[in-house]
Amino acid sequence: MAKKLWEKSIDVNPEIERFTVGRDRELDLLLARYDIIGSIAHSTMLKSIGMLTAEEMEELHKELRNIHATVENGEFFIEEGVEDVHSQVELMLTRKLGDTGKKIHSGRSRNDQVLVDLKLFTRNGLQEICEDVMELFHALIKQSERHKDVILPGYTHLQVAMPSSFGLWFGAYAESLADDMLFLQAAYRMCNRNPLGSAAGYGSSFPLDRTMTTELLGFDSMNYNVVYAQMGRGKCERNIAFALASVAGTLSKLAFDACMFNSQNFGFVKLPAECTTGSSIMPHKKNPDVFELLRARCNRLQALPTDITLIMNNLPSGYFRDLQIIKELFLPAFTSLKECLAMATYIIDRIEVNRNILDDSRYDAMFSVEEVNRLATDGMPFRDAYKKVGLDIEAGRFTPCKEIHHTHEGSIGNLCNDKIEEFMQGTYDSMDFGKARDAEAALLNR
Ligand code: ARG
C-alpha cells in the first residue's frame, strides 16, 4: 500500500521526502488526538449528508477511538515513509477497514485538517495556560495581602525613590496577569472558530454541513469564508503567540525583580533554599538559577510572534508549505510557558520577605516626598516645601518620619486587590472551557 496520500506513478526521491517532511513525524504526534476528534466530527457529518452509511460511520468511529487509545497510552507513532499525522490516521483506517477508510477524506483536505487540529490543540493549550495563570495570580494576591504593610523601597532609574510595599509589588504582577488574561481571552475567541470544511482553501462541491461540525466540535462559530479560514493559518498562531508573549513578559520582569531583590546588595527577599542552586567552586553560593532560566525562556517566548511573522509575512492568500514550519516554534511554546508558570507559582508561594529593610539608613531619603507632602498639607506651597526638604537633606538635617499614610485607590494603604480579582475573574469566566471539553469528550467516548 502506498504510504503517500498523493503517490500515483512516480517514485518519491528520498532526499526530497526527508526535506519536505521535516520534523512533522515528531511534531504531529502532538496533534494526533485532535486529528482523531476532527475525523470523528467530519465522518459524522458525511453520514448526515449521505456520503457514508450508518454502518460505515460506526466502523470509522470505532477504529478512530481505537487509534485514540494508542495515542493515550503512548503507542501511536508515525511510520517511516508516512508524511504526517493525517496520512498516518487515514492509512491505519484503510488498512483496517479497506474502502470505508478510503471514503473519510471526501470533502476535506489536509489543509483544513491541520487547521482544525491546530485550533483544537491551541484551544486546549490556552485552557491550561489560563488555569496556570490563575494559579500564579492567586499566589501573588495572597502574598500581596499577607505582606501589605511591609515597606519596600521603590526605585526610579534604579535609584532609591519613594516608599513602595510588598503589597504593591506582588499585587502589581497580579494585575499585570489580569491584563495578560485579556489577550488570552481574545486569543481563545479567535481560535475557537471552526475552519473544517474549507478543504484545500476553496470549499467543496459536496453539500457539507459545516454548522454540524461546528457544533460537534464545540466551537463558538465557524470561520465562514473558506478563503479566510485558510488565511487564518499563521495569523491565528501569531496572534495567540502575542498572548503567550504577554504572559511571558510579565514573568520575565517578575523574575528579574526577584533575582535582584534576592541579591545580598538588596536583601529584600529570600528564595526558599530548595529553589536555589550551588556553585562548583564557591561553597557559600545559593544562586537564583530558576528565575534566571525562567527569565531567559520567557524572553525567548517573546520572540515567538516575530518568528512567526517572519515565516508567514508577505505570503499571498492560499496554502503554502511554509506554514508547516510554524509548528516547530508554536507547538512547543505551550509546554515551555506552562513549565515557567508552574515554577513561578511554586516559588512565589514560598518566597520570604525581609520585614526590616527600613532599619538600613541608606533608604531614609525615600521618605523625602512624604515630608514635603506633610508640609504642603499644613499649608506651605508645594514648591517651597520641596526646596526646604531638599536643603535639609543636603545639610544632613533630615530625619525621616517613617509613618506612611497613602489612601487613594491602588496605593500602599488601599491596594484594591478585590477590584483586581474581580476584573481577572470576569475575564476568565467569560471563556466557556466546559463547552469545548464536553464536546471533545462526547466525540471520543460516544
Ligand atoms: N504537514 C502539512 C502542514 O503542516 C500538512 C498540510 C499538507 N498540505 C499540502 N498541501 N501539502 O502544512
3-state secondary structure at position 201: coil
What's the rounded Cα separation, in Å, for the pair 344 and 346? Answer: 5
Query: What pLDDT does 354 receive?
Result: 96
323 lines ligand 1 (CB under 6 A): yes
Residue 281: per-residue pLDDT: 74
Which pLDDT score, from 0 to 100, does residue 221 have? 98
What's 446's DSSP letter? -
CA of 239 to the centre of ligand 1 (A): 21
**Mean pLDDT, to the nearest integer, of 11-36?**
94
Q: Catalytic site residue 406?
A: no
**Do 323 and 331 form a contact (C-beta atoms < 8 A)?**
no
Catalytic residue among 279, 317, 405, 430: 279
Nearest of 319, 330, 125 to residue 229 by alpha carbon: 319
319 Cβ below 6 A of ligand 1: yes
pLDDT band at 2 (very low <50, low <70, confident <90, very high): low
Q: What residue owns the CA closest to ligand 1's atom 11?
A: 321
* Higher pLDDT, residue 398 or 203: 203
401 falls in which pLDDT band (50, 70, 90)? confident
Q: Could you tell me the distance, in angstroms and rounded to a whole number, from the CA of residue 102 to the centre of ligand 1? A: 19
pLDDT tens-place string over residues 284-304: 777 888 999 999 999 999 999
Range in 11-20, 79-88, 189-198 the model is least confident about: 11-20
| Grid cell of 139 as nine digits | 499566589
What pLDDT does residue 446 have? 66
- What is 164-176 written as a DSSP string? EEHHHHHHHHHHH
Ligand 1 center–CA 8 separation, angstroms: 18
pLDDT value of position 276: 79
In short, whether 114's Cβ falls inside 6 Å of ligand 1 is: yes
445 vs 116: which has the higher pLDDT? 116
Predicted confidence (pLDDT) per residue in 194-248, tens digit: 999 999 999 999 999 999 999 999 999 999 999 999 999 999 999 999 999 999 9
Closest ligand 1 atom to the C-alpha of 323? 12
Residue 86 CA: which ligand 1 atom is closest? 5
For ligand 1, the distance from its centroid to the CA atom of residue 127, given in whole angstroms, is 26
CA of 111 to the centre of ligand 1 (A): 6
Confidence class of residue 275 from pLDDT cuts 50, 70 and 90?
Answer: confident
Give yes or no for residue 330 CB within 6 A of ligand 1.
Answer: no
- Closest atom of ligand 1 to CA, residue 200: 10
Report whether residue 110 contacts ligand 1, using a CB cutoff of 6 Å: yes
Which atom of ligand 1 lies closest to the CA of 83?
1
- Identify the pLDDT of residue 159: 94
Q: What pLDDT score was predicted for residue 106?
A: 96
pLDDT band at 3 (very low <50, low <70, confident <90, very high): confident
pLDDT at res. 1: 60
- Residue with the nearest Cα to atom 5 of ligand 1? 110
pLDDT at 348: 97
Q: Tell me the CA–centroid distance for residue 28 and ligand 1, in Å.
A: 11
Cell matching residue 318: 492560499
279: annotated active-site residue: yes
Q: Does ligand 1 lie within 6 Å of residue 233's CB atom?
A: no
- Ligand 1 atom nearest the C-alpha of 110 is 6
Greater confidence (363 vs 284) lies with 363
Model pTM?
Answer: 0.94
Contact 370, 404 (CB under 8 A): yes
Domains of the chain: 14-105 (1.10.275.10), 110-156+166-358 (1.20.200.10), 360-423 (no CATH)
What cell was used for 16? 526530497
| Mean local confidence (pLDDT), 121-143 | 98
How far is the centre of ligand 1, averaged over its atoms, from the C-alpha of 88 (Å)? 13
Cβ(351) – ligand 1 distance below 6 Å: no
Nearest to 189, CA basis, from 443, 420, 427, 28: 427
Cell numbers 471520543: residue: 444
Q: Decide if pLDDT at 434 tops 70.
A: yes
Give every CB contact of residue 435 below 8 A, 6+ residues apart in sequence.
Answer: 218
The Cα 143–Cα 166 span in angstroms is 8
Lowest mean pLDDT among 17-26, 126-135, 245-254: 17-26
Looking at every residue in the chain, the average pLDDT score rounds to 95
Which cell numbers hold the place of 426? Answer: 470576569
**pLDDT per residue as tens digits for the range 304-328:** 999 999 999 999 999 999 999 999 9
Q: Candidates 112, 324, 325: which one to mutate for ligand 1, based on the most atoms within 8 Å of Cβ? A: 324
Residue 24 in contact with ligand 1 by CB distance below 6 A: yes
Q: What is the pLDDT of residue 335?
A: 98
User: pLDDT tens for residues 81-110?
Assistant: 999 999 999 999 999 999 999 999 999 999
For 444, phi then psi, to 5°, come to -80, -30
- Contact assessment for residue 285 and residue 219, using Cβ atoms and an 8 Å cutoff: no
Alpha helix segments (H runs only) across 351-416: 368-377, 382-394
